[in-house]
Structure 1
Amino acid sequence: MSAADTLVQLRYRFLPDHVVGEVLSKRWTDNAIPFIALLLTLAVFGSVNPGMFTAFGMYDLAGQIAEFGLLAIALTLVMISGGIDLSIGSVFALCAMTVLTALNVYNLPLPVAVLITLGVGAVCGAINGVLIGYLRLRAFLTTLVTLVMFRSIYEMVLPKFATQIVLGMPDSVVWDELGFGSFLGLPYAFFLSALIALIWHVVLSRSRPGWHIAAVGGARRSAHNAGINVRLVVCLTYVFCGMMVAVAATLFAARLTSVGTDTGLGMEISVLTAVILGGTTLGGGRGSVAKALIGSVIVLILTNGLLQLGVIGTVSALILGVVLLLAVWLDVRWVKNRQKLIDSSYVSPAYIKLTESVNAAENPVYAVNDKLRDVQTIGLGEVEGPEDVAVDRAGNIYSGSRHGEIHRWLAPDFKQHEIFAHIGGGTFGMNFDKDDNLVVCVGGMGLYMVTPEREVVKLTDETSRSLTSVIDDSRIRLADDLDIAPDGRVFFSEASIRYTVHDWPVDMIESRGNGRIICYDPRDKSTKTVLKNRIFPNGIVCLPDGESLLFNETWACRVCRYWYDGKKKGQVEIVLDGLPGYPDNINRASDGNYWVCLVGMRGPALDMMMTRPGLRRRMTRRIAPANWIYPNINTGCIIKISATGEVLESLWDKGGVNHPMVTSCKEHEGHLVIGGVSNNRVGRWKIPGADPTWSSPVDYWGAKQ
């Protein structure tokens, strides 16, 4: 390897660009800009006015955050659903007047007064919700009108009770403690608000109603097509918004014990500024409780700091308006450019120099022939994408499909066809265990099992998370092929932890080593990763020694051996390198050797590009995916190898009649059953001179008792 190639290899190994893309793709990066803005605000006003962060200043700020934060969460809830509520200032004033009137004028018990206040907030929210959710009026204009309506009601009712509210003194210790009590130097209202904020965080991020709200805000029509009652969700978000405003108004009333003509006036602008500044998008579908609270703290520190610096109210309002415009601009720019940043950095090719491929001139075994021309076609047009096949003890043939079904053709003539099981995801590797359960790798779902009674059982869909991984690699994204060890452990490959089955070309472009081998142990139902950083690990076959297995690395064009037990446990060695094509699945042969399927053949252009990661990266940025350089997966072959890597035989369909493209094959009673991920049928080819009594289930588990 030249010095230049060495430098390129080191650059793309130790300075990978994909880390930036992975970090930007994390949801918490939405809070990066608001968090930086918060730190800057704290630094500026902390240095200008140190008294703001004294014990008394923090106590006062915490009380305001308790109220203002709940208002921001309430508006965030509505904005995530795709709406907006400009009436929260008027509802806030109306609810504050309600709780004080109930306590100071009518001397009602505190629980009753709070329930009435919550009812007022819920009614105001329901009015907005019905008009916007069910009558489908525009949220901006509707809440602008209700802002005026609720404010008018407040100003008409307030003069009748203003004096009694000021002079009244409710006889409630809880009310007094809520307004003036403290714990650990902070008001009780702060802890109550924190509890409510935590509950809403769980609802929005961990519950079905929260997902429904985000789905409605993100794509209303798609949410409707998915079965979500969009109108009800929209209506309820406004109802809960009104109730949250009522809680905030109650805390405000307990702290100040009075209301005035300016209560809640212009509050909608302050709250809207906080919500947008926190990172909640105006377009809906994106927002969180954390964003709302960050924005609330920024706005409160800003307004309090300006007030303590002697800035008059009109100038302070002007500054707040400028901040709102800046927040909207940042939101628009961030939403527009964040995905571009991810796209430009997420795909990060590595340097990989493939071993020079062996051709037919160097090894006549690879000579193209027409042995597969006479393959018997089974189920033509009845199945799509049978990536892998399996044969049970009775000789029935099974295959997966891209539609999430497992097909079965009944022996001996394979003309009778049925759907054996519905799984729901693209089915790949499959094998039978000792109890005749069909264990299946399901793309995007994990490892599943289908019992002889056709019951579908999930075995595992996650493994241990890597400590050094930026993305959450605990979830199994692309379970590919499997085999079962003599003790029942299932070893299966996950081809890529970064990409799904539909994005396999991107993983090929990277060739970074995104795959791994995972072990599921049915004895204690544990799942653990046993081998990492493999280049698209694919086919797996356990060796009879009970200590090791062979697995294919597709983009590396090689077959490797891994010891999972014994003296060499944990070791990996290359058994066969420099294959002329891309190996997919590997399975046992009756003569003690192994069948390897080459899903496609190598080409000099792509081999050269593997040593040019910068070129591949530019290709993904500047050229449409349809024009990328891909492996040739239209023509492949089947080879037979020994356990030591000697190539013994090759099978081709030179004319491309029946099976020019293969991804898997299983030997059974003198025949080779063949599958292909791009095929619409299963093939069956008679092996000259093969043992007509040999079957894979018997070879693995012995004759059934």
Structure 2
Amino acid sequence: MKSESAEINTSASPQITWTGRQIFLVALLPVITCLLFVSSPIDPLPYTFPSPLPRLEAGLKKNTLLQQADRWFEGLLIGPESFAADTNGTIYTGTADGRIFSIKQKGLSLVARTGIDHPQCGSAEFEPRCGRPKGMKIGPDGKLYVVDSYKGLLKVDLDTGDVETVVSNKDGSEGVPFRFLNSMDISSDGIIYFTDSSNKWERRDFRYAVLETRPDGRVIRYDIRTGICRTLLSGLYLANGIALTADEDALLIAEMSIARIRRFYLKGEKAGTSDIFVDNLPGYPDNIKLNTRGNFYVGSGSVRFKGSSPIGSFLDLIGPYPSVKKVIAAVTPLSAYNVFMPKHALVVEINIDGLIVGSLHDPGVVRIGAASEAFEFNGTVFIGHYQSPYLGVLSSATINAERSA
């Protein structure tokens, strides 16, 4: 007589199917226990991203346009993230070591420094002293206005290289110091709009700001004519890129840590109010720039689309769980966070209705490691990123040919 155990049909046993989210959370259980023994530098809030994740279809259809870009000034420009242009066709950009350069006919010249000159400029330790120039634009007076993450709103005389502090981080707006200045735009009548990404974290700690997912960013308005500086909009999630619409009726503001762009109305019946321009983006939006088609190029700090990671989007997975985020911040060095970033560079093109009408990709980051900004000028798209040791350069004709194919 066979035993009872021998009569069990093991092939009929129920099969357990695990989702990527379940595997991720179970794998983190031992790590979560660390929370009992270590302190965390962040105090995060829960956040649930929209679902499902975007798919690479229609305007987001995968291509290799960014792989056709040239690399200029390799090893000479470290972290050229944002760009401006003057009427003479000269391009300006700032770098991770606090320098501002001009680019003319593929020639590179130093214009100014926003902080000290030191051999360790470019390191996180010296960043507050050396400066970190970010958003910039030529003002109506012909001066180059720059927001430096640590120094404030600055004005650069392009003839002499002299740097003047217009509003320091210490003075800030309405008694609240600036902490993390990031991006800017200037209206035709001399109003400067710029973002202060966080009232807690400095630029060198921006990954903590991303993990905390707190609405502590704001938009500042500065009038060149009157010198009046005031807060225009607050309660933003890591306020990053900012751009005026073509008619200057509204501002678009990237809320990087939650993958959306907010619109603030400057004129009309809705003046002084804001709404969501586009949500559930396939990447975490960085700088926003108008292009020649009247649309907006939006760079991506990293990506979050269907298939971008075997377990799903990392921030989507951990977003609802503050305890998990605390542990990650406690045990992961800031220098190691790139391991969580999928290898895919992406720029999206969004029209005035908030629809994604095109995109530029480098799957596998073969040519362009990442794209914080895509700035189109005189038939060329300049591509920068805060960590890239080069300037990406792509012909607008190449992009147009792909679109018409």
| TM, length-normalised to structure 2 | 0.78
1:450, distance to aligned residue in structure 2 (A): 1.0
1:465, distance to aligned residue in structure 2 (A): 4.6
Give me the whole-angstrom Cα distance separating, in 2, the residues matched to 1:684 and 1:672. Answer: 6
Choose which of 20, 37, 47 in structure 2 pairs with 1:352: 47
Matched, 1:419 2:110: yes
Choose which of 179, 187, 196 in structure 2 pairs with 1:494: 196
Secondary structure of the structure 2 residue equivalent to 1:656: coil
Secondary structure of the structure 1 residue equivalent to 2:397: coil
Alpha-carbon contact 2:369-2:388 (below 8 Å) kept: no
Matched, 1:380 2:89: no
Matched, 1:590 2:284: no
Give me the whole-angstrom Cα distance separating, in 2, the residues matched to 1:564 and 1:631. Answer: 38
1:358, distance to aligned residue in structure 2 (A): 4.4
1:630, distance to aligned residue in structure 2 (A): 6.9
Give me the whole-angstrom Cα distance separating, in 2, the residues matched to 1:615 and 1:408. Answer: 44
Q: Structure 1 684/604 Cα, relative in aligned 2: closer, same or farther at 3 Å?
A: closer
Secondary structure of the structure 1 residue equivalent to 2:362: coil
Match of 2:346, as an amino acid?
C
Deviation sequence 1:621-662 (CA, Å, 0-9, x none): 455556669751753211111011110111012252331301
Alpha-carbon contact 2:92-2:101 (below 8 Å) kept: yes
Alpha-carbon contact 2:54-2:280 (below 8 Å) kept: no
Alpha-carbon contact 2:314-2:340 (below 8 Å) kept: no
Partner residue in 1 for 2:321: 612
Match of 2:98, as an amino acid?
G
Alpha-carbon contact 2:345-2:363 (below 8 Å) kept: no
Match of 1:677, as an amino acid?
Y
Q: Structure 1 433/627 Cα, relative in aligned 2: closer, same or farther at 3 Å?
A: closer
Structure 1 segment 117-136 matched on structure 2, within 5 A: none
Give me the whole-angstrom Cα distance separating, in 1, the residues matched to 2:234 and 2:273. Answer: 12
Choose which of 614, 639, 652 in structure 1 pairs with 2:361: 652
Choose which of 88, 100, 124 in structure 2 pairs with 1:406: 100
Q: Structure 1 628/456 Cα, relative in aligned 2: closer, same or farther at 3 Å?
A: closer
Deviation sequence 1:40-87 (CA, Å, 0-9, x none): xxxxxxxxxxxxxxxxxxxxxxxxxxxxxxxxxxxxxxxxxxxxxxxx
Alpha-carbon contact 2:285-2:298 (below 8 Å) kept: yes
Give me the whole-angstrom Cα distance separating, in 1, the residues matched to 2:270 and 2:202. Answer: 33
Partner residue in 1 for 2:213: 511
Alpha-carbon contact 2:239-2:255 (below 8 Å) kept: yes
1:346, distance to aligned residue in structure 2 (A): 6.0
1:561, distance to aligned residue in structure 2 (A): 0.5
Alpha-carbon contact 1:398-1:406 (below 8 Å) kept: yes
Give me the whole-angstrom Cα distance separating, in 2, the residues matched to 1:538 and 1:387. Answer: 12
Secondary structure of the structure 2 residue equivalent to 1:636: strand
Secondary structure of the structure 1 residue equivalent to 2:204: helix
Q: Structure 1 628/408 Cα, relative in aligned 2: closer, same or farther at 3 Å?
A: closer
Partner residue in 1 for 2:186: 484
Partner residue in 1 for 2:62: 368
Secondary structure of the structure 2 residue equivalent to 1:607: helix
| TM, length-normalised to structure 1 | 0.46
Give me the whole-angstrom Cα distance separating, in 2, the residues matched to 1:677 and 1:369. Answer: 23
Match of 2:113, as an amino acid?
H
Alpha-carbon contact 1:445-1:477 (below 8 Å) kept: no
Give me the whole-angstrom Cα distance separating, in 2, the residues matched to 1:600 and 1:357. Answer: 17
Deviation sequence 1:489-530 (CA, Å, 0-9, x none): 100011111011111111111011121111111111121111
Deviation sequence 1:415-446 (CA, Å, 0-9, x none): x2210111111111111122322111101111
Partner residue in 2 for 1:444: 150
Q: Structure 1 689/605 Cα, relative in aligned 2: closer, same or farther at 3 Å?
A: closer
1:406, distance to aligned residue in structure 2 (A): 0.5
Q: Structure 1 689/627 Cα, relative in aligned 2: closer, same or farther at 3 Å?
A: closer
Structure 1 segment 219-238 matched on structure 2, within 5 A: none
Alpha-carbon contact 1:637-1:660 (below 8 Å) kept: no
Deviation sequence 1:252-271 (CA, Å, 0-9, x none): xxxxxxxxxxxxxxxxxxxx
Of Structure 1 and Structure 2, the greater helix share is in 1
Any unmatched runs of 5+ in structure 1? 1-342, 467-473, 692-705
Match of 1:459, as an amino acid?
V
Partner residue in 2 for 1:535: 237
Partner residue in 2 for 1:433: 139
Alpha-carbon contact 1:387-1:428 (below 8 Å) kept: yes
Give me the whole-angstrom Cα distance separating, in 1, the residues matched to 2:53 and 2:144. Answer: 37
Q: Structure 1 562/589 Cα, relative in aligned 2: closer, same or farther at 3 Å?
A: same
Alpha-carbon contact 1:519-1:530 (below 8 Å) kept: yes
Matched, 1:674 2:383: yes
The sequence identity of aligned pairs, in percent, is 27
Deviation sequence 1:466-511 (CA, Å, 0-9, x none): 7xxxxxxx22121100001222110001111101111111111101
1:587, distance to aligned residue in structure 2 (A): 0.5
Matched, 1:522 2:213: no
Alpha-carbon contact 2:114-2:163 (below 8 Å) kept: yes
Structure 1 segment 104-119 matched on structure 2, within 5 A: none
Give me the whole-angstrom Cα distance separating, in 2, the residues matched to 1:439 and 1:349. Answer: 34
Give me the whole-angstrom Cα distance separating, in 2, the residues matched to 1:451 and 1:565. Answer: 32
1:599, distance to aligned residue in structure 2 (A): 1.9
Give me the whole-angstrom Cα distance separating, in 1, the residues matched to 2:163 and 2:216. Answer: 29
Match of 1:676, as an amino acid?
H
Q: Structure 1 389/631 Cα, relative in aligned 2: closer, same or farther at 3 Å?
A: farther
Matched, 1:559 2:261: yes
1:390, distance to aligned residue in structure 2 (A): 2.0
Matched, 1:601 2:303: yes
Matched, 1:661 2:356: no
**CA-based RMSD:** 2.3
Partner residue in 1 for 2:85: 391
Alpha-carbon contact 1:373-1:655 (below 8 Å) kept: no
1:681, distance to aligned residue in structure 2 (A): 1.1
Give me the whole-angstrom Cα distance separating, in 1, the residues matched to 2:244 and 2:342. Answer: 26
